[in-house]
Amino acid sequence: MKGLKEVFHLSPGCEVSIEVNPETIYPNYAHGLQGLGINRISLGVQSFDPEVLRQLGRGHDVEQSIRSFQFLRRAGFDNINIDLIFGVPGQSLPGWQRTLESALALEPEHLSLYCLTIEKDLKFKTEQSYAGELDQVLGERYLVDEKTQMEMMQLSQALLEREGFQHYEISNFCLPGFQCQHNLTYWRRGEYLGFGAGAHSFLEGKRFSRIEDPKRFIAAVKAGQLPLS
């Protein structure tokens, strides 16, 4: 943040967002983030169902999610997003509704709801092998049938809109005035710069990325080279 402020002029009130996991948030750290000038938090809760968290191999439990949200509130954050995942094997429609209701009880300003997809490096706990068990759809593996996925999203839309949330982007819901600015930038094909290993950018109609491996990235910078992949 210090480096960015030295190089760029940041508009007053600009969105400064960070993603965090519940198990990493403690009062001192939450206040430290506030002190850096960060004003939007995205909290990777994923679920308020202990069994779903176990299935996903997450490093936190439900109580940690609630505590971390409260720590962030007490630190002064008034723009908090909660990430949730649906379409997890064994997850029921009533179970998904309970997770949504638990999230709403914390009174976040924003919710991001993602349907589970399996990536090659995702830690996913299941007794069955992938082979023969997963449907291949558009090159991605989905573990719950489309009908159930649709019902979960329709439930989400109805419940959140009733609570005053706007469905402003495919996976994102917010209270009025809390649209995520970087989400909107992507959808509007706006320009953005990414810094650090593996960061992506879109500038003057071109997309490019940085070297992913941190050691190679640092070596390139020290050698006076642009660390582009």
Q: 185 in a domain, yes or no?
A: no
Q: Residue 54 has what pLDDT?
A: 87
Same domain for 118 and 224?
no
CA distances from 24 to 27, 60, 63, 133 (A): 10, 9, 13, 34
Q: 186 in a domain, yes or no?
A: no
What predicted TM-score, i.e. pTM, was given to this entire model? 0.84
Same domain for 27 and 97?
yes
Same domain for 17 and 105?
yes
Same domain for 198 and 108?
no
Q: 154 in a domain, yes or no?
A: yes
Q: 80 in a domain, yes or no?
A: yes
Lookup result for tokens 């210090």: 2
Q: 184 in a domain, yes or no?
A: no
Same domain for 113 and 217?
no
CA 21 from chain centre, in angstroms, equals 10
Total residues belonging to the chain: 229
Same domain for 149 and 106?
yes
Q: 25 in a domain, yes or no?
A: yes
Please tell me the total count of domains within the chain: 2
Run means of pLDDT, 10 residues per run, the chain, 229 residues: 90 92 95 94 95 86 95 97 93 94 98 83 46 39 77 96 96 97 92 93 95 96 94
Q: Residue 58 has what pLDDT?
A: 85
Same domain for 93 and 196?
no
Same domain for 140 and 196?
no
Q: Which domain holds residue 211?
A: 191-228
Question: For residues 105 and 40, what is the distance between their CA atoms, to the nearest angstrom?
Answer: 19
Q: Residue 2 has what pLDDT?
A: 87
Q: Residue 127 has what pLDDT?
A: 41
163's CB contacts (< 8 A; 6+ apart) are 104
Beta-bridge partner residues of 114: 85
Same domain for 169 and 204?
no
Q: Residue 125 has what pLDDT?
A: 46
Same domain for 47 and 145?
yes
Same domain for 102 and 196?
no
Same domain for 113 and 214?
no
Q: 26 in a domain, yes or no?
A: yes
